[in-house]
Amino acid sequence: MGDDLWYKEGLRFGCLRCGGCCSGFSGTVRVTDDEIGAIARRLNLPEAEFRNSYTRSVGGGVISLTEKENKDCVFFDKDEGCTVYTDRPRQCRTWPFWRSNIDSPERWQRGAGRCPGMDKGMLHSADLVEETSENDGSSGSIS
- Residue closer to ligand SF4 (CB basis): 3 or 21: 21
- 91 SS3 class: helix
Please choose, out of 55-63, 99-107, 109-117, 123-131, the segment that lies near ligand SF4 by the rule CB under 6 A.
Answer: 109-117
84 with 62: CB under 8 angstroms? no
Please choose, out of 4-12, 16-24, 52-60, 125-133, the segment that lies near ligand SF4 by the rule CB under 6 A.
Answer: 16-24
Dmax of the chain from CA atoms?
50
Burial 84-98 (b: 16+ CB within 10 A, else e): beebbbbbbebbbbb
Binding mask 37-56 for ligand SF4 (x = CB under 6 A): --------------------
Q: Is 116 in the site for ligand SF4 (CB under 6 A)?
A: yes
